[in-house]
Chains A and B, each alone.
Chain A
Amino acid sequence: QLQLQESGPGLVKPSETLSLTCTVSNGSISSSSYYWGWIRQPPGRGLEWIGSVNYGGSTYYNPSLKSRVTISVDTSRNQFSLKVNSVAAADTAVYYCAREAVAVADWFDYWGQGTLVTVSS
């Protein structure tokens, strides 16, 4: 069964860059049928899609976050990564990585367990 695991610092200072990596196991990241996405959930709030990348490096982002976000892929390591610049307290959230099946429609069919990132000095 496909597994995804988020990793990265749990604490980031305001104005710095948040960096997370998602490692995909029991499956290849190099498939044209899928994108690989990041979603976050601030404490006590709902889900927010951040953006997605495919194995070739094509990306699309939530317009509200696009100016601060970069998502990249490393097929040799079966990983994809998220960077959020100039973070503030509002970026404190549980961050999830997920596989996005893309066909006529799309959906996230496999998710990681999530990792809490706190923005605080």
Chain B
Amino acid sequence: DIQMTQSPSSLSASIGDRVTITCRASQSISSYLNWYQLKPGKAPKLLIYVASNLQSGVPSRFSGSGSGTDFTLTISSLQPEDFATYYCQQTFSGLSFGGGTKVEI
């Protein structure tokens, strides 16, 4: 099984901050990596697919990078609506998610 490790598990940030979240795979997954945003009581939202492709309708302040085992999600300028929990997901072998990163004020 491929294990996905996110760091940090939580972070505190302010409006306008640049935020970077890291996801590391236990083995190479090429670019088979997606990022999601979860908010309580709302449908989860796909942000990035195949490591660096911005999903339609997602603000351009979100970006993804990486390949192999190391990936990052970057929010260039944090907005109030971005306070949420973020998950990475690998689809190289089966489907599995990272443990999540909670972004708090």
Contact = CB atoms under 8 A, between A and B. Distances in A.
Interface of A: 4, 37, 41, 46-49, 52, 62-63, 96, 98, 101, 104-114
B94 A63 contact: yes
Interface in B11-52: 31-32, 34, 36, 38, 41-46, 49-50
Contacts of B55: 109
Interface of B is mostly: loop
Nearest to A41: B38
B87 A47 contact: yes
Contacts of A41: 38
A49 B44 contact: no
B12 to A, nearest CB: 19
Contacts of A62: 94-95
Contact of B41 (A48, A110, A113): A113
Given A62-B94, A98-B44, A114-B43, 11 more contacts: A37-B95, A41-B38, A46-B98, A46-B100, A49-B89, A49-B94, A101-B49, A106-B91, A109-B55, A111-B43, A111-B45
B62 interface: no
Interface in B83-98: 87, 89, 91, 94-98
Contact of A113 (B42, B49, B96, B98): B42
A50 to B, nearest CB: 10
A49 B97 contact: yes
